[in-house]
Structure 1
Amino acid sequence: MKVLIVDDEKAMHLIMKRMLAKIDGVEVVGSFADTASAEAYLRGNAVDLIFIDINMPKESGMAFAQRLRASDRDVKLVFVTSHTEFALAAFDVYAYDFMVKPVVQERLHHTVRRAMAEASEGKGSAESPAIPEPQVRVNCLGRMEIRGAQGELVKWRSSKSAELCAYLVLQRGSLVSRARLIEDIFGGMPRKNAEVYLNTTAYQLRKLLEAIGMKGSLYSNANHYALNLTLAEVDLHRFEEGCREMAGVDASNLDRAIELERAYVGQLFGDLAYPWAWSEVERISQMYASFTLRLGQALLDRGDIQAAIRLLAKLTAYNELDEDTVKLYMRALALQHNREALTRLYAKFSDTLQEELGVRPSTEVTKLYGQLLTQLEAAE
């Protein structure tokens, strides 16, 4: 199967090529950063499947797809994008599938295999829209939401049904006692009222899951509840597994590490601040910080100073008082010869420490700052 990649992010070319290379029978015949180049290639070459981004600076992938369909081009289109709001519009131009970044290998493999099987059987013309297989996503990083097969946001029936789902997601399918759920989620209510409220909330969650093709996912008996998410992708679980797999970040896995970092769009459950989740929020936050520091160092080792600075600025925004982040950030700014930004960073760190904790920066941080300033002055 001949495959084309159209995405304005060069990093996505590398990521998609690496993932597609793991699928037998796939040949990536071209990768382009804009639709004009892709269209020029298509004038003289046959392609079976095109992976295309939607939001690109010169022309959107959607407009390009509309032109392809108008010209009766027989090719399958798979949109790969961070913008889930375009999911329904994608299928208006007879998209074969719609994937949300970061792309998961298993998801990609299944889509390509399905396309190959249809091609071998003479099925699946691009003239009619194909129905994508169920693909539910549970997003816990930066929010608590469920998205259906086409990226549509599922509306919670109540705030407590969202909280119950969040609680059970953290249990990874393990049984949780009714008593524990009542204490953690419905604490403060009279016992009888709490039991009724739990029953109602569980019913709401069960009906919601059934409506998106996950019937039977919420298990319960007289004393326990459990949530089976084998039919869904959970961003939290994928992020944890990725961090564990990449204990070290270097040239061999740098692109994958960048992809994983982008998946962290905020702290666990965002601003919902469930009291029973505080320890997990802190644990995941620390996991992200540790992983991102490794990634930042790897970017500096590769000489990609600007990318490292953007990453460290994001990490500093999450935790202004983390010394390890500030030290690496200062080194990156010094490598960029940005003395003004280095001075601002140190001053802001000092002021924040004084205001929040009533202390000054450690000797190690102060010493490093002085050394970096001296080096910059000597280079001027």
Structure 2
Amino acid sequence: MKVILVDDERLALDYLERQLMKLDHIEMLGKYTNPIVGKEEILKQDVDVIFLDISLPEINGIELAEQILERKPDIHIVFVTAYNEHAVKAFELNALDYIVKPIIAERLIKTIERVRKRMESSSKQDTSLKEEHIRLNVLKQVTIETSPGQYSIMQWRTSKAQELFFYLLQHRGQLVRKSALIELLWPEYEMDKVYSQLYTAVYHIRKTLEPFGDRFQIANATEGYILNIQNVILDVEEWESRLMSLLPLTSGRIDPCSEVLKQYTGHYLQEFDYWWVESERQRLKELWLEASYAIAKWYENEGLFDQAINSYNAICKQHPLEEEAYLALMKIYDSLNNHHLVHRQYEMLTEVCLEELNEAPSYHIIEWFKQWKENTVHL
């Protein structure tokens, strides 16, 4: 195990070196009190593990770790800190990746063992598997394919890391400025502290995505970050691509398009109430509605009323406040002289509007229903 130490305290460096050299299979490549020089040497050499002090002059240790991981994402970093364990939790650091000063030999041995196991696990990964595609689902429930056909919920160390990942995912392939991320996630923090929060969150994202190899890559640009994904099938991206390939509708595309619409089983990032998700959620909803109305109207124009009714009912079920679908159903039932179901549809719409919006249906629907009742009475 090839090791480099970075700490601005010479005595702490020497002490840690002595403790490490008592252990088997440790090769010391260097120790540095200057973090900038240390970073240069780390990037030059074939290093397995860095012991990195959090409190450094010129640059925060977490920020330095982020810069190193950008260039060497497979390197293992152990943070060293003078803070007690309670204070370390405030840094939101993974317990696997830090040791507290003064360093206790038993604790150091455990840390080295954990790092060694992680290295062995990484080396055993079949590189051919990294070339295979995996699926990431963001419609309804967020799950990721951990083995062929097996899915699990993505687990995040902090809620901020989770939101940051989803924001980068939504803007995948685009530069997202650090200033925008700070304003989004930490608007209440002081500027001298907020960057540590950002770098910590990015660090946790990298650790969470580590088992998936190079499928997820967070590029660190001067102004911000770019998330690139490869060999990852994103369900929402796949769904939209299939849908757009079937529009505009033709008679031969009706059935395939209906099948694609059925795959839209829940809204985009449905589990989360992030305000910035709403525009994308609304865009996808409009795509679904546009295609759903097109199919329903095609059936209606062809006189296939049972299929048209099923399609409009599907719209009402997916989007209970979609008034035009209820109105279309009322008109179809009217054409079929099914007065009871005209009444029933209007009652259902009235109930849902009252329950969800605390108001009556739109004026033009109320007027249509009034006029229909008058005409029905005169028949």
Q: TM exceeds 0.5?
A: yes
Closer/same/farther in 2, CA of residues 348 and 221 from structure 1, 3 Å limit: same
Matches of 1:167 and 1:357 in 2, distance apart? 33
Counterpart residue number, 1:362:
363
TM-score between the two structures when normalised by the length of structure 2: 0.55
Q: Secondary structure at the match of 2:261?
A: helix
Counterpart residue number, 2:135:
137
Q: Secondary structure at the match of 1:203?
A: helix
Counterpart residue number, 2:155:
156
Counterpart residue number, 1:173:
173
How far the C-alpha of 1:216 sits from its partner, in A, is 5.4
Instruction: Please tell me whether the aligned partners of residues 135 and 149 of structure 1 are also in contact (alpha carbons under 8 angstroms).
Output: no
Counterpart residue number, 1:79:
none
CA displacement, residues 300-335 of structure 1 (integer Å, 9 cap, x when unaligned): 456654554444333223433333222233345557
Counterpart residue number, 1:253:
253
Counterpart residue number, 1:115:
none
Matches of 2:193 and 2:254 in 1, distance apart? 52
Counterpart residue number, 1:34:
none
Which AA in structure 2 matches 1:139?
N
How large is the Cα RMSD of the aligned pairs?
Answer: 3.5
Matches of 2:321 and 2:375 in 1, distance apart? 24
Q: Secondary structure at the match of 2:189?
A: coil
Matches of 1:372 and 1:166 in 2, distance apart? 50
Matches of 2:259 and 2:370 in 1, distance apart? 31
Higher Rg of the two aligned structures = 2
Instruction: Please tell me whether the aligned partners of residues 353 and 359 of structure 1 are also in contact (alpha carbons under 8 angstroms).
Output: yes
TM-score between the two structures when normalised by the length of structure 1: 0.55
Q: Unpaired runs of 5+ in structure 1?
A: 1-129
Instruction: Please tell me whether the aligned partners of residues 134 and 149 of structure 1 are also in contact (alpha carbons under 8 angstroms).
Output: no
Q: Secondary structure at the match of 2:213?
A: coil
Counterpart residue number, 1:272:
272
Matches of 1:257 and 1:300 in 2, distance apart? 16
Closer/same/farther in 2, CA of residues 199 and 304 from structure 1, 3 Å limit: farther
Instruction: Please tell me whether the aligned partners of residues 215 and 232 of structure 2 are also in contact (alpha carbons under 8 angstroms).
Output: no
Matches of 1:181 and 1:361 in 2, distance apart? 40
Which AA in structure 2 matches 1:205?
I
Q: Does 1:223 align with 2:226?
A: no
Matches within 5 A, 1:1-380: 134-151=132-149, 152-158=151-157, 159-215=159-215, 217-301=217-301, 305-333=305-333, 339-353=339-353, 356=357, 358-363=359-364, 366-367=367-368, 371=372
Instruction: Please tell me whether the aligned partners of residues 144 and 269 of structure 1 are also in contact (alpha carbons under 8 angstroms).
Output: yes
Closer/same/farther in 2, CA of residues 290 and 231 from structure 1, 3 Å limit: same
Which segment is superposed worse, 252-261 or 212-221? 212-221
Closer/same/farther in 2, CA of residues 331 and 178 from structure 1, 3 Å limit: same
Matches of 1:241 and 1:365 in 2, distance apart? 38
Closer/same/farther in 2, CA of residues 207 and 307 from structure 1, 3 Å limit: farther
Matches of 2:207 and 2:336 in 1, distance apart? 55
How far the C-alpha of 1:219 sits from its partner, in A, is 1.6
Count of equivalent residues: 249
How far the C-alpha of 1:346 sits from its partner, in A, is 0.7
Q: Secondary structure at the match of 2:268?
A: coil
Matches of 1:278 and 1:248 in 2, distance apart? 26
Q: Unpaired runs of 5+ in structure 2?
A: 1-127
